[in-house]
């Protein structure tokens, strides 16, 4: 819990109270749209002054050595679980994928170096995209990978990084952003929880990620999470490049269910969802479609991405291979009962594909329609929370934001965006 969370008191957020974000009390005028109209002429043309001994750097992620530098910073200083036992370990291939999506801008890969050693000590990034919020389309930048070296924490460098990337976005005429964070800031549009479906329970247990319930045995736990060898839906196959138009249509229809969702162009769909087999290129995203044998139409789709966690303190296993549920869609969404039954077998097939690809665990948030299958498919309730935010944009509450006390099944996601 952040020190400020207990109070939800704007005054306690010295930096955030100065930013164009909704207040906690919800007393802002709830007319949907920008909070502040930005005058580009008032945007400073030069970078903000930094702490003594540090300098701004713009990374060039087309250069392998820049990607490796970023990897080295994040793999040792990025997000950890509460106890510091596990740390997200985004691979160089993942970072390049995440940060060079269509329209990416080099200026939005903002680093800080120590002036003497030239070591990269902090970073923040953005990539452009469009989202739909209720019935409005909004051009945004997706902010991610904010990271400060552990020795430089609590020196108010984060607000500087945020202000600097904001300045660079304003200069390009982008005035809104979307981001997620485990910490509570003013003010989430929605908050979700992580769920974990063991695929290799024994390894998770040995690594300290899964626990043995008092009334169980390791054998019973392994049996509980056993999956069939083969997928069950006829016509399930890997996504092909020739599917992209049909996939765009299927996704667009499905994502219309949610209050906030991405508005993917075809190029973005290719970038984010299509993995092209190339020698020596690490696979980051797995996408599968179901093609109806009679009509040749795509009826369903699922995807997941690969993100390892480093086990910081354990000797037997140093990595957990995690598949994260990404976008999915089904033409069976015309009836709720039909959708629930379909998603259960569709996502069960996703688990089987992930198990075959040697993942240890499959993670999902309870956004989108995930509450329809999480319990049935034996996802365990995790401790991690993820809050969704919009910068300089206010909108009426999304469907589920206030419904934390409803049982799981009652909590359908209002957010359809998944940030990597
Ligand atoms: C139009 C364009 C707009 C573009 C910008 C849109 C906004 C983008 C916003 C960023 C989206 C990022 C999305 C992601 O990448 S979320 C991932 C965040 N990264 C990590 O958790 C990695 C490990 N942790 C660290 O590297 C540091 O602890 C970080 C960098 C997180 C904070 O460093 P440090 O611990 O040394 O703190 P400080 O003394 O410098 O600064 C303290 C101030 O910073 C506020 N703080 C703390 N954590 C976060 C956080 N995750 N988002 C926003 N603000 C945060 C905090 O409330 C306080 O402000 P206030 O309480 O006084 O007000």
Surface-to-core class of residue 202, CB atoms within 10 Å of its CB (0-12 exposed, 13-18 middle, 19+ buried): middle
CA of 398 to the centre of ligand 1 (A): 24
177 shares its domain with 199? no
CB-based contact 229:414 (threshold 8 Å): no
The verdict on 100 and 128 lying in the same domain is yes
- One domain, residues 370 and 245: yes
CATH number at residue 136: 3.40.630.30
- % of the chain surpassing 70 pLDDT: 93
Contact 5, 11 (CB under 8 A): no
In this prediction, residues 177-193 reach a mean pLDDT of 95
Residue 320 has pLDDT above 90, yes or no: yes
Which one of 188, 213, 242 terminates a domain? 188
> Do 200 and 182 have their domain in common?
no
Task: Establish whether the linkage from the previous residue to 276 is cis, with ω within 30° of 0.
Answer: no
At residue 29, does pLDDT exceed 90?
no
Does residue 416 lie in a domain region?
A: no
Q: Higher-confidence residue: 144 or 383?
A: 144
Q: What is the pTM of this model?
A: 0.96
Question: Is the model more confident about 384 or about 405?
Answer: 384
d(CA 219, CA 217): 5
Give the lowest-confidence range in 118-122, 145-149, 335-339, 375-379: 335-339
Average pLDDT over the chain, rounded to an integer: 93
Residue 420 lies in a domain: no
Same domain, 261 and 375: yes
| Contact between residue 265 and residue 316 where contact means Cβ atoms under 8 Å apart | no
Average of per-residue pLDDT across 105-132: 98
Phi-psi region at 218: left, alpha or beta (left = phi > 0; alpha = psi -120 to 50)? alpha
Band (22; pLDDT cuts 50, 70, 90) = very high
Tell me the HSE value of 203 on the side-chain side, using a 13 A CA sphere: 16
Mutate to test the pocket of ligand 1, among 146, 384, 385 (most ligand atoms within 8 A of CB): 146
Q: Is residue 219 included in any domain, yes or no?
A: yes
- Listed residues 168, 188, 208: the one ending a domain: 188
- Which of 34, 150, 158 best tests ligand 1's pocket when mutated (most atoms within 8 Å of CB)? 158
Q: Over the stretch 127-175, which tens digit does the pLDDT of each residue have? A: 999 999 999 999 999 999 999 999 999 999 999 999 999 999 999 999 9
Q: Tell the residue nearest (CA) to atom 9 of ligand 1.
A: 162
**Can you tell me whether residue 189 is helix, strand or coil?**
coil
Answer yes or no: are the C-beta atoms of 305 and 324 closer than 8 Å.
Answer: yes
Q: Give yes or no: residues 66 and 151 share one domain.
A: yes
Structural domain tally of the chain? 2
Q: 3-class DSSP state for residue 121?
A: strand
Distance 102 CA to ligand 1 centre (A): 25
User: Tokens in use for 132?
Assistant: 């739909």
What's the rounded mean pLDDT across residues 380-402? Answer: 86
> How far is it, in rounded angstroms, from Cα 122 to Cα 157?
9
Transcribe 191-246 into DSSP letters.
EEEEEEEESSHHHHHHTTSS---TT--HHHHHHHT---SS--STTEEE--GGGHHH
pLDDT at 404: 54
Residue nearest to atom 32 of ligand 1 (CA): 158
Domain-located, residue 418: no
pLDDT at 349: 98
177 and 221 belong to one structural domain: no
Are residue 253 and residue 333 in the same domain, yes or no? yes
List the catalytic residue out of 141, 178, 361, 420. Answer: 420
Residues 168 and 201 occupy one common structural domain: no
Residues 6+ positions from 232 with CB-CB distance below 8 Å: 345, 348, 349, 352
pLDDT band at residue 292 under the 50/70/90 scheme: very high
- Assign 261 to helix, strand or coil: strand
Distance 190 CA to ligand 1 centre (A): 18
Cα 109 to averaged position of ligand 1 atoms, centre (Å) = 16
**Residue 420 among the catalytic residues:** yes
Nearest residue (CA) to ligand 1, atom 55: 158
Question: Can you tell me which residue has the tokens 């300098």?
Answer: 55
Atom of ligand 1 nearest to the CA of 170: 1
Nearest-atom number in ligand 1 for the CA of 155 is 39
Residue with tokens 């903002």: 110
Q: Taking Cα atoms as reference points, which of 307, 417, 311, 309 lies closest to residue 365?
A: 417
Strands (E), 34-135: 54-58, 86-89, 109-114, 120-133
Q: Which domain holds residue 382?
A: 191-410
pLDDT at 206 over 70: yes
Q: Please indicate, yes or no, if residue 325 is contained in any of the structural domains.
A: yes
Confidence of residue 82 (pLDDT cuts 50, 70, 90): confident
Question: Nearest-CA neighbor of 222 among 241, 239, 206?
Answer: 206
For residue 174, the CA-to-ligand 1 centroid distance in Å is: 20
Rounded CA-CA distance 193/359 in Å is 21
Could you tell me if 87 and 216 lie in one domain?
A: no
Q: How far apart are CA 144 and CA 179, in angstroms?
A: 7
Burial of 36 (0-12, 13-18, 19+ CB in 10 A): exposed
Q: Is residue 64 part of a domain?
A: yes
Q: Which atom of ligand 1 is nearest to the CA of 160?
A: 40
Cβ–Cβ contacts within 10 Å for residue 73, how many? 21
More confident of the two residues 238 and 3? 238
C-alpha span between 294 and 265 (Å, rounded): 28
pLDDT band at 4 (very low <50, low <70, confident <90, very high): very low
Whether residue 87 is found in the same domain as residue 207: no
Mutate to test the pocket of ligand 1, among 181, 182, 184 (most ligand atoms within 8 A of CB): 181
With beta carbons less than 8 A apart as the criterion, state whether 389 and 260 touch: no
Q: What is the pLDDT of residues 241-274, one digit of tens each?
A: 999 999 999 999 999 989 999 999 999 999 999 9
pLDDT, position 401: 42
The pLDDT of residue 83 is 85
- How many residues does the structure list for the chain? 420
Which of 134, 162, 188 is where one domain is finished?
A: 188
Binding-site residues, ligand 1, Cβ < 6 A: 4, 13-16, 77-79, 141, 143-148, 153-159, 162, 165-166, 169, 174-177, 179, 181, 183, 185, 391-392
Using DSSP's 3-state secondary structure scheme, residue 140 falls into strand
Question: Nearest Cα to 168, choosing from 51, 45, 61?
Answer: 45
* DSSP notation for 367-405: -TTGGGTTTTTTPEEEEEEEEEEEES-B-SPPTTTT-TT
pLDDT in tens, 44-55: 999 999 999 999
Q: Which atom of ligand 1 is nearest to the CA of 149?
A: 26
Tell me if 415 is assigned to some domain.
Answer: no
Question: Helix, strand or coil for residue 21?
Answer: coil
Structural domain contains residue 254: yes
Distance CA 313, CA 267 (A): 41
Task: For residue 351, give the nearest of 418, 273, 288, 300 by alpha carbon.
Answer: 288
- Tell me: do 222 and 255 sit in the same domain: yes
* Nearest Cα residue to atom 3 of ligand 1: 166
């Amino acid at each position: 819990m952040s020190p400020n969370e207990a109070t939800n008191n704007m005054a306690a957020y010295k930096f955030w109270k100065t930013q164009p974000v909704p207040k906690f009390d919800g007393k802002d005028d709830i007319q949907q749209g920008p909070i502040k109209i930005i005058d580009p002429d008032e945007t400073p043309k030069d970078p903000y002054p930094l702490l003594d001994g540090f300098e701004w750097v713009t990374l060039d992620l087309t250069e392998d050595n820049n990607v490796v530098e970023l990897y080295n910073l994040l793999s040792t200083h990025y997000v950890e679980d509460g106890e510091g036992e596990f740390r997200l370990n985004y691979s160089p291939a993942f970072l390049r994928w995440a940060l060079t999506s269509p329209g990416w801008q080099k200026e939005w890969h903002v680093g800080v170096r120590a002036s003497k050693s030239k070591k990269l000590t902090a970073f923040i990034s953005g990539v452009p995209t469009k989202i739909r919020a209720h019935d409005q389309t909004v051009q945004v930048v997706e902010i991610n990978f904010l990271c400060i070296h552990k020795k430089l924490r609590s020196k108010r460098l984060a607000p500087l990084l945020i202000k600097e990337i904001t300045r660079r976005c304003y200069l390009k005429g982008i005035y809104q952003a979307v981001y997620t964070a485990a910490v509570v800031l003013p003010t989430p549009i929605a908050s979700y929880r992580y769920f974990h479906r063991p695929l290799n329970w024994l390894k998770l247990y040995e690594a300290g990620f899964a626990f043995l319930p008092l009334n169980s045995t390791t054998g019973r736990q392994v049996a509980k999470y056993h999956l069939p060898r083969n997928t069950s839906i006829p016509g399930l196959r890997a996504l092909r490049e020739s599917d992209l138009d049909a996939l765009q249509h299927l996704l667009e229809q499905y994502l219309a269910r949610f209050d906030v969702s991405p508005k993917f162009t075809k190029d973005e769909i290719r970038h984010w969802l299509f993995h092209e087999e190339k020698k020596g290129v690490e696979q980051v995203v797995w996408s599968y479609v179901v093609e109806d044998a009679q009509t040749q139409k795509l009826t369903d789709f699922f995807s997941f991405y690969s993100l390892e966690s480093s086990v910081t303190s354990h000797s037997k296993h140093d990595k957990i291979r995690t598949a994260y549920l990404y976008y999915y869609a089904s033409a069976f969404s015309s009836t709720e009962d039909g959708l629930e039954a379909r998603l259960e077998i569709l996502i069960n097939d996703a688990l089987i594909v992930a198990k075959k690809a040697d993942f240890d665990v499959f993670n999902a948030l309870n956004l989108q329609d995930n509450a329809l299958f999480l319990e049935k498919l034996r996802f365990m309730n995790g401790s991690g929370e993820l809050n969704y935010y919009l910068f300089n944009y206010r909108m009426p509450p999304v469907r589920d934001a206030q419904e934390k006390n409803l049982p799981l099944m009652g909590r359908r996601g209002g957010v359809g965006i998944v940030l990597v």
